[in-house]
Amino acid sequence: MEVTIKEEARAEIKIWNYVFGYAKIVVVKCAIELGIADVIENYGSPMPLSELATALRCEPSRLHRIMRFMVHDRIFKQEPINQHTVGFSSTPLSRCLIKGGEKSMAAFILLMSSPNCLAPWHSLSARVLETGNNISPFEVANGKDLWSYAEANPDFRELFNNPMDCDARLTVQATIEGCPEVFDRVESLVDVGGCNGTALSLLVKAFPWIRGINFDLPHAVAVAPKSDSIENVEGDMFMSIPNADAAFLMWVLHDWDDEECIKILKKCREAIPEDKGKVIIVEAVLEEDKEGDELGVARLMLDTATMVITNKGRERTLKEWSYVLRQSGFTRFNVKPIRAVQSVIEAYP
Ligand SMILES: C[S@@+](CC[C@H](N)C(=O)[O-])C[C@H]1O[C@@H](n2cnc3c(N)ncnc32)[C@H](O)[C@@H]1O
């Protein structure tokens, strides 16, 4: 009986998180657009509201309400300046909101809170009701699927590519630190769906013996910087993939269903040597029942986002990864957890 009362009480509190669930993302978007984290970080000591309002040219009482929310959510700290005044200070979390900061996720938040990416969520229930694969919620809202829309709209393309850069920087760093041995004896590496080559340039910097091939659709490769250690190649991964010792796929396979993944992986298998080749996949591995996994909920949210934004994409459990890899002709694979939402999967012919 007591459990039931406690559960009831908890539910009555928790439901408010759903009623106003969007408030968190839009307040943080507002903070990024105003540059609040940047200004407080540059100030160097606790910054009073009056000075913050002047620096940002904001209406002080409205800014106070936004700051009160973010202090409550521990995005910023409030610290005494003197007996009568307090000021705002940075935290590791607020530094994730600094535009272009080392660990910035600002571009990701700007993408996911953009009208292009928020509108499709209104079609989630329709998506769940339908059988088969008709058009994605993204296409319902924007008139084109994600890749065609990005190709036709350079502004959206930039909005989409910037967070891929943010994630690539953090996840590649986590890969380099967490499992550098994956790149031992890899002399050439093709980054399939490598976008503008950010991930590959970090990898060849960390492992300078690697010759890199950045492979993506023409519009993505067109904005990739040129470098001596990386060749940019445009093409379609469903048709053919340039040859290399290893194929690297980060946040690519989760955009596609099993049948499409198997087609991509078979093309990767054709591109690598039968004896010493491998495919390195950097993707989430869902562990549905694992308690205490702090990133578990982020992986599940990512999975719902792929349902809304991509045509047929999904995050996968270990069993589901095993299925697509075996169906593509890979005989063995291992999974290496890293400090990221994704893990590193090495698969061998
Ligand atoms: C979610 S992004 C990931 C980008 C990059 N791997 C990263 O993690 O930063 C997926 C990439 O797949 C590319 N892509 C989509 N369809 C493709 C195709 N048919 N052939 C090659 N690349 C494709 C997109 O252009 C995009 O750059």
- How remote is the CA of residue 250 from the centroid of ligand 1, in Å? 9
Which domain range does residue 54 map to?
2-95
254 a catalytic residue: yes
pTM: 0.90
CA of 147 to the centre of ligand 1 (A): 9
Judge whether 285 lies within some domain.
yes
Q: In this structure, are 228 and 321 located in the same domain?
A: yes
> Mean pLDDT score of the chain, rounded to an integer?
93
**pLDDT per residue as tens digits for the range 320-336:** 999 999 999 999 999 99
For residues 170-186, give the mean pLDDT.
Answer: 95
For residue 89, give the CATH number of its domain: 1.10.10.10
d(CA 160, CA 197): 14
- Examine residue 321 and state whether it is found in any structural domain, yes or no: yes
Pocket of ligand 1 (CB under 6 A): 147, 164, 167-168, 193-195, 199, 216-217, 220, 236-238, 250-252, 255
Question: Does residue 332 sit in the same domain as residue 264?
Answer: yes
Domain membership flag for residue 293: yes
How many domains does the chain contain in total?
2
Residue 310 lies in a domain: yes
Cα(66)–Cα(192) distance, rounded to whole angstroms? 42
Question: Same domain for 161 and 310?
Answer: yes
68 and 159 in a common domain: no
339 alpha carbon, distance to own chain's centre = 13
Mutation to probe ligand 1, out of 195, 268, 338 (largest number of atoms < 8 A from CB): 195
> Would 146 be classed as within a structural domain?
no
Same domain, 162 and 311: yes
Pocket test for ligand 1, best of 149, 216, 281, 315 (most atoms within 8 A of CB): 216
Q: What is the pLDDT of residues 95-122, one digit of tens each?
A: 999 988 888 999 999 999 999 999 999 9
* 180 falls within a domain: yes
Per-residue pLDDT band for 228 (boundaries 50, 70, 90) equals: confident
Same-domain pairing of 88 and 172: no
In ligand 1, which atom is closest to the CA atom of 220? Answer: 25
281 and 184 within one domain = yes
Domain of 269, CATH number, reads: 3.40.50.150
* Catalytic-role residue among 64, 72, 84, 254: 254
Could you tell me if 184 and 306 lie in one domain? yes
- For residue 33, which of 104, 98, 102, 130 has the smallest C-alpha distance? 98
113 part of a folded domain: no
Domain end, chosen from 50, 67, 95, is at: 95
Instruction: Give per-residue pLDDT as tens, 56-91.
Output: 999 999 999 999 999 999 999 999 999 889 999 999
Q: Which tokens go with 153?
A: 């709209």
| Closest ligand 1 atom number to CA of residue 196 | 27
* Residues composing the chain: 349
